[in-house]
């Protein structure tokens, strides 16, 4: 059942409070899984960079000095971690693009990053590197907030709409629960209260098949009615969970938990660590729908 293989973890760090929480989280996970750890700092040049002249040369020199200082600061925070399993990289460019290339080339199994959780005007101005990473990366992305590093989760919330493409995220969540001895809480949201009982029965049968190979797992089932975003956020605030696992789906076929709508808003507002796993449309499901439309 436990198919989670994490041999290499990357932590995106910029020495901000959220990224330091990500660093501590990554260290803890790497220790538990005996994984190697890559610390990545990305220096983003200002928009005017690249036009030449003395200003550009001066900026380049400052970047090199800053890079040396960053390495020194990061190494200070890694004295409690095996040196032979840790590397520090200072790279340059657009943070999201650089990290996407890095995780792909280095065969990273998990990226841990901090998030500021900006909303409203601040989010419009600054955007969110974390959201960009979840959109673009194929590897799982774990986001944490300042002062809230993930240590040992005891309860993991797993929103699940019983779609085939969401099963990978659910199984990954189950694997985390087994690895940490945490309780799995599976939640499905329906629109009509009259569907709650039937959904509960269907979900229980579905989970019996998916989790049946593990005698350790006995998932708690929750069925809620209403807006998916509100229901998930409310459960993360009052349900006593330590980790939320989201299926980051990239197509608008399934209306709930579609990245760019519900999943993205949940990621932005969630106050507990979020593990986002990119899911792909299962071909069998797509083909069936296409055949149905042709008819």
* pLDDT tens by residue, 68-115: 899 999 999 999 999 999 999 999 888 999 999 999 999 999 999 998
Output the pLDDT for position 148: 87
Output the pLDDT for position 41: 94
Range from 98-102, 113-117, 221-225, 259-263 carrying the lowest mean pLDDT = 259-263
Output the pLDDT for position 40: 96
Question: With left for phi above 0 and alpha for psi between -120 and 50, is residue 201 left, alpha or beta?
Answer: alpha
Tokens at 15, concatenated = 């020495």
Burial pattern 106-123, b for ≥16 Cβ within 10 A else e, equals: eebbbbbbbbbbeeeeee
- Tens digit of each residue's pLDDT (9 = 90 or more) over 165-217: 889 889 999 999 998 999 999 999 999 999 999 999 999 999 998 876 555 78
Output the pLDDT for position 212: 67
Output the pLDDT for position 61: 75
Mean pLDDT, residues 36-42: 96
The yes or no reply on domain 155-294 and CATH 3.40.50.620 is yes
Output the pLDDT for position 47: 56
Could you say which architecture CATH assigns to the domain 8-144? 3-Layer(aba) Sandwich (3.40)
Q: Angle CA(253)–CA(256)–CA(261) in degrees, nearest 5? A: 90
Output the pLDDT for position 4: 67
**Banded model confidence at residue 53, pLDDT cuts 50, 70, 90:** low
Does residue 43 have a pLDDT over 70? yes
* Residue 126 or 177, more confident: 177
Mean pLDDT, residues 135-155: 91
Output the pLDDT for position 106: 96
**Portions of the chain given CATH number 3.40.50.620:** 8-144, 155-294
């Amino acid at each position: 059942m436990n198919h989670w293989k994490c041999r290499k973890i990357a932590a995106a760090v910029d020495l901000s409070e959220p990224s330091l929480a990500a660093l501590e989280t990554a260290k803890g996970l790497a220790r538990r899984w005996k994984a190697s750890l890559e610390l990545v700092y990305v220096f983003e040049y200002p928009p005017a960079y690249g036009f030449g002249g003395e200003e550009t040369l001066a900026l380049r020199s400052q970047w090199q000095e800053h890079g040396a200082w960053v390495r020194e600061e990061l190494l200070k925070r890694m004295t409690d971690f095996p040196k032979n399993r840790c590397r520090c990289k200072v790279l340059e460019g657009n943070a999201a693009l650089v990290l996407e290339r890095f995780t792909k080339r280095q065969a990273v199994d998990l990226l841990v990053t901090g998030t500021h959780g900006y909303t409203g005007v601040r989010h419009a101005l600054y955007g969110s590197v974390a959201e960009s990473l979840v959109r673009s990366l194929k590897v799982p992305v774990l986001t944490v907030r300042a002062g809230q590093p993930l240590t040992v989760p005891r309860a993991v919330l797993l929103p699940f709409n019983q779609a085939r493409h969401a099963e990978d995220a659910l199984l990954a969540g189950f694997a985390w629960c087994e690895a940490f001895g945490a309780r799995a809480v599976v939640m499905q949201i329906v629109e009509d209260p009259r569907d709650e009982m039937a959904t509960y029965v269907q979900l229980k049968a579905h989970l019996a098949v998916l989790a049946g190979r593990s005698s350790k797992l006995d998932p708690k089932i929750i069925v809620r009615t209403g807006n998916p975003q509100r229901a998930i956020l409310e459960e993360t605030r009052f349900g006593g969970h330590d980790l939320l696992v989201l299926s980051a789906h990239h197509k608008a076929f399934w209306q709930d938990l579609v990245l760019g709508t519900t999943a993205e808003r949940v990621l932005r507002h969630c106050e507990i660590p979020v593990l986002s796993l990119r899911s792909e449309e299962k071909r069998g499901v797509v083909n069936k729908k296409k055949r149905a439309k042709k008819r």
